[in-house]
Structure 1
Amino acid sequence: MALQSAFLLFCALALATEETLASVFSSRLIHRFSDEGRASIKTTTSSDSLPEKRSLEYYQLLARSDSRRQRMNLGAKFQSLVPSEGSKTISSGNDYGWLHYTWIDIGTPSVSFLVALDSGSDLLWIPCNCVQCAPLTSTYYSSLATKDMNEYSPSSSSTSKVFLCSHKLCDSAPDCVSPREQCPYTVNYVSGNTSSSGLLVEDILHLTYNPKNRLMDVPSSVKARIVIGCGKKQSGDYLTGVAPDGLMGLGLGEISVPSFLSKAGLMRNSFSLCFDEEDSGRIYFGDMGPSMQQSTQFLPLNNKYVVGVEACCIGNSCLKQTNFRALIDSGQSFTYLPEEIYRKVAVEIDRHVNAAITSVEGVEWEYCYETSVEPKVPAIKLKFSHNNTFVIHKPLIVLQQSQGLVIFCLPISSSGQEEGSIGQNYMRGYRMVFDRENMKLGWSASKCEEDKIVPPQASPGSTSSPNPLPTEEQQSRSHAVSPAIADF
């Protein structure tokens, strides 16, 4: 009897387990032109005006719908996005940290901000309800800005929303007293005592599809919902002319602008920066780069754009034991190498310069030369896997001129650690493609002309959520499923 009871209990448990494993969630599909679909769709026209099922007009309407959907999909897959004020970036050299800046528009009504471009960090922050910010009048920045910079006020934007501590993207949640508080932020940067802090908000970033390759039936303007740092307090370099009107982080973090744009299905998960020799350049969101570009994989390290350099070469001579990891950082003005590699590279460059080293007050570089003739220095070549090479054709920069003499410097320093970093000074003359979709860095020689951007090839559809900022309701685990009206 006990054995029979045990057997029956086993069978019951097995059936219960099988029933649990076999359970599915279903939803009834309703075609939009079915009788039920016609009754469900709320339109400004009567359902009687819809074509009769399986008539010529019926199939023509479906075909037009398919065509429209395909063109809209191509808008994200084939095109590049640029800020609503254009793709151009600007720089004014040493006056503003040697960084590149671009104008962006935020909020409703839109307000313009001149933000520094930084691939080494994630957050987009702008001066906001300032307690401690840099001056914003154009007279302070005459060589950079042609109009006054702005201070953001969330209360003045009808599309602004409070960003709560309960949101999954709030890194400061453990420090919040209540999940209903507004999420605070603090970002510390590499430069000494340089930081930005304040509160996070949601608002609209205004963009436009690159007019050089915008497809028909795809809207020219785009309003993308993103997270913004309301920067109430800045410190260090941010008070003395570097990024006075904010900074756009372009990193791999979920809170960066490229992450929001790609998750919203507005672009391919990639962007490019191009800096020319005339202190100008371009930024393109969704740019995958030309097919002939060279490339190397990003290393899975600290969620940063880090690449593995296999060797450093001066001209055609490769230096021994010069492999290292390098952060590709447009927010860093200059280039830094691990100490031992820095010494090898600097000594080899110095060997080719027919001039004595001179010290320059206020300059951190060790290898500077005062001469009447530009030194003939071979290119620095960074070698990567698969025989890909990044060539720095002009390693020296002109620092100053007086009485017929020119001071040239090697703008490289020791990083003081095992990793190095490639700053934007050595990105000049290249279209740098940050391909986050395939986790690789691409580069190709470029004059950064707007009409040279070529639409990328299509890829399989993204599986990312179309809404980059899920509400608390969207994040719930509810199993309730409503009937769906299929758009086909």
Structure 2
Amino acid sequence: MAACTFHICLFSLIFCSCGILGEDSNGTLVDVGVDTLRPDLVCSPSEEAWRRRNTLQILRRQGPCYPDRVTKPDHRQALARVHSINARLSSATRSNGTLLQGSKHCLPVQSGSGDYIVTLSLGTPKSDQMVEIDTGSDLCWIQCKPCSVSCFPQQQPPFDPSASSSYSNISCTSAPCRPDLGGSCSSSSSTCLYSYAYEDGSATGGILATETLTVTPSTVFPSFVFGCGHNNRGTFLRETGLFGLGRSPYSLVSQVADRLGNVFSYCLPAKSSTGYLTLGNMTAAASSAVLYTPMLTDARDPTVYFIDLIGISVGDRRLPVPPAVFRSSGTIVDSGTTLAYLPPPAYTALRSAFRSAMSKYSRAPPRDEMDTCYDFSKAQTVSYPPITLHYDGADITLGFVNVFYIDDDVSQVCLAFTANTHPGEVGIIGNIQQRTFEVTYDIGENKIGFTPGACS
């Protein structure tokens, strides 16, 4: 009981500091002002990225800090990603946990409302690259000149390998030329080629190469392996490519681990501010506030981040769902999936308890796969039950920005959870449930941590 009290109080402190009311008198509901739910139109960058070493600023596509802000994401892309995750995990054509050539199921590049962007540099002299980051991807790639077939539009010209003194193609005999990175060789060339096709119709193909990566002025990595894409398509905006944060040997985090440590963290912004991505170990002061749970590895795909979800509470009541329901297919933490996807029995229990607590509010029509939506347009405040995710060793209480899916219109605010289509599909903790938390992936120690209130 003491642990529950701690988390609810902590939640209240965080949201009071943001101008949102705290608990109501019954101790199970939290009040939030409706005006605070509307997206901010003014960018208020977080200063955290400038206070830490080896830290990059994260922009959210739907936030006001992103150029040409996107307010209406395409949820079909989010659904494509979820289907792709389950296709990837259910693939039978594996060898020692590695997908074989011709059997890859790559996650969609786009992910509904969950696109998060950082800027880093490649080449000598440096060329800034605005790239998506994704825990479900393993390869780092950008668009390169020449576009031999096609390239999607981007803000600056594609990267020019001929203009960099540190660029080098990877040969067919080099270790990175491997099938799980899409690597292959033709009879007419000794240079390693790669090809990635994503389930949402996006694709990239080109040459595997090495280049100098500059994370910050004092953090530079020579011989960084990346895909130099000469044939690319996708619904990108200003971005130049994608950098994977998975556990492949050639993801961004793996390639910097020898120098910075095999750990990274991020805070995904929810509203007006920016977030941040930190590569390497945190400071002792920051790490003392983290609530950790074991990071699990699943033979279906050892590069994906599994976590042990064992229960859920709505308000102060734990749902009558045994841990075996969540463990039957496992649960992953994914920065590129928007919503949380639960086993059908777990979602049914969650929906029932949540609707009961929210019964005084007018229901709104369902939106895509979200079937529990409300019209708050005539309310001044909303009282809702906080949802707590019970992981092995860590109880994480979610705030309003983690519980609801909100666009510009408060007349259709939806519960940001849904059910998997089939009982055997993997559970997913989406980026809405991660927003404003610093999520720490300590790969060396096999644990994932959550620090509340790290950004807004």
For Structure 1 versus Structure 2, the TM-score category normalised by the shorter chain is 0.5 to 0.7
Structure 1 vs Structure 2: percent identity of aligned residues? 24
Kindly state the Cα deviation for residue 418 of structure 1 after the two structures are TM-superposed: 2.7
Tell me whether 1:408 sits opposite 2:413 in the alignment: yes
The answer to whether the 8 A contact 1:134-1:244 is kept is no
Contact 1:357 1:369 in 2 (8 A): yes
Residues 233 and 317 (structure 1), Cα distance of their counterparts in 2 relative to 1, 3 Å cut: farther
Which of 320, 326, 331 is equivalent to 1:323?
326
Tell whether the 8 Å contact from 2:266 to 2:276 is kept in structure 1 after alignment. Answer: yes
Counterpart-to-counterpart distance in 2, 1:376 and 1:230: 50
Say which SS state the counterpart of residue 103 (structure 1) adopts.
strand
Q: Helix, strand or coil: the match of 1:232?
A: strand
The 5-angstrom pairing of residues 269-288 of structure 1 reads 269-277=262-270, 278-288=272-282
Does the CA-based 8 Å contact 1:298-1:306 persist in structure 2?
A: yes
2:58 maps to amino acid: T
Q: 1:132 aligns with which of 133, 150, 158?
A: 150
- Which entry has the higher C-alpha Rg, 1 or 2? 1
User: Taking structure 1 as reference, are residues 411 and 133 closer, same or farther at Cα in structure 2, changes over 3 Å only?
Assistant: farther
Q: Secondary structure at the match of 1:207?
A: strand
In the TM superposition, residue 206 of structure 1 has moved relative to its aligned partner by 0.5
Amino acid at match of 1:261: V
Amino acid at match of 1:342: Y
1:338 to 343, 346, 357: 343
1:261 is matched with which residue? 256
1:176 matched to 2:199? The reply is no
Per-residue CA deviation, residues 355-407 of structure 1 (Å, 9 max, x unaligned), is 3433266x442222223225422122111223x11221221133343xxx632
The answer to whether the Cα contact below 8 Å between 1:111 and 1:150 also exists between their aligned partners in 2 is no
Deviations 1:302-332 (A, max 9, x none): 2211111011221222221352422111122
Give 1:115-126 correspondences, 5 Å limit: 115-126=131-142
Deviations 1:14-62 (A, max 9, x none): xxxxxxxxxxxxxxxxxxxxxxxxxxxxxxxxxxxxxxxxxxxxxxxxx
Given the alignment, which residue of 54, 63, 72 partners 1:81?
54
Q: Does 1:389 align with 2:395?
A: yes
C-alpha distance in 1, partners of 2:183/2:165?
29
Instruction: Give the alignment's Cα RMSD to 1 decimal.
Output: 2.6
Which whole-Å CA distance do the structure 2 matches of 1:174 and 1:185 have between them?
A: 4
- Superposition deviation, residue 290 in structure 1: 0.8
Distance in 2 between residues matched to 1:167 and 1:179, nearest whole Å: 17
Are the structure 2 counterparts of residues 193 and 81 from structure 1 closer, same or farther at C-alpha, using a change threshold of 3 Å?
A: same
Contact in 2 for aligned 1:118/1:332 (Cα 8 Å) = no
Q: CA deviation at 1:284?
A: 0.8
Is contact 2:177–2:184 with CA below 8 Å preserved after alignment? no
User: Is 1:291 the equivalent of 2:288?
Assistant: yes
Maintained 8 Å contact 2:183/2:195:
no
How many corresponding residue pairs? Answer: 335
C-alpha distance in structure 2 between counterparts of 1:284 and 1:409, whole Å: 31
SS of equivalent to 1:132: coil
Rounded Cα–Cα distance in structure 2 between residues aligned with 1:165 and 1:340 = 49
Structure 1 residue matching 2:432: 3-state secondary structure: helix
What is the rounded CA distance, in whole Å, between the counterparts of 2:337 and 2:250 in structure 1?
20
Contact 1:294–1:444 (8 Å) recurs in 2: yes
Counterpart for residue 14 of structure 2: none
> 1:448 Cα shift?
3.5
Give the direction of change, closer, same or farther, for the CA distance of 1:411–1:279 in structure 2 (3 Å limit): farther
SS at match of 1:261: helix
Asked whether 1:351 is paired with 2:353, we answer: no
Q: Which ranges of structure 2 fall in alignment gaps of 5 or more residues?
A: 1-51, 63-69, 74-111
Equivalent position SS for 1:239? coil
When residues 293 and 365 of structure 1 are mapped into structure 2, their CA distance, relative to the original with a 3 A threshold, is same
Query: Structure 1 stretches of 5 or more lacking a match?
Result: 1-78, 137-147, 210-219, 450-488
Which secondary structure state, in structure 2, belongs to the residue aligned with residue 182 of structure 1? coil
Q: Tell me if structure 1 keeps the 8 A contact 2:294–2:448.
A: yes
Seen in structure 2, the aligned counterparts of structure 1 residues 133 and 346 have a Cα distance that, compared at 3 Å, is: farther
- TM-aligned CA distance change 1:378 to 1:251, over 3 Å: same
Q: Secondary structure at the match of 1:349?
A: helix
State whether structure 2 residue 221 is matched by structure 1 residue 223: yes
Match for residue 204 of structure 1?
A: 212
The alpha-carbon deviation at position 133 of structure 1 amounts to: 2.6
Query: What does residue 196 of structure 2 align with?
Result: 187
| Cα gap change, 1:174 to 1:161, in 2 (>3 Å) | closer
Structure 1 residues 333 and 261: alpha-carbon distance in aligned structure 2, compared to 1, 3 A threshold: same
Tell me: CA distance 1:364–1:240, structure 2 relative to 1, closer, same or farther (3 Å): farther
More deviation, 171-180/113-122: 171-180
1:179: Cα distance to partner? 10
Query: Does the 8 Å contact 1:103/1:112 carry over to 2?
Result: yes
Contact (CA 8 Å) 2:264, 2:277: kept in 1 or not?
yes
Partner of 1:90: 59
Question: Once the 2 structures are TM-superposed, how far is the Cα of residue 175 of structure 1 from its aligned partner?
Answer: 4.5
TM-score, normalised by the number of residues in structure 2:
0.67
2:389 aligns to what SS in structure 1?
strand
Partner of 2:84: none
TM-score when normalising by structure 1: 0.63
Instruction: Report the CA distance shift for 1:187/1:341 in structure 2 as closer, same or farther (over 3 A).
Output: farther
Does the 8 Å CA contact 2:375/2:411 hold for their aligned counterparts?
A: yes
* Structure 1 contact 150–245 (Cα < 8 Å) conserved: no
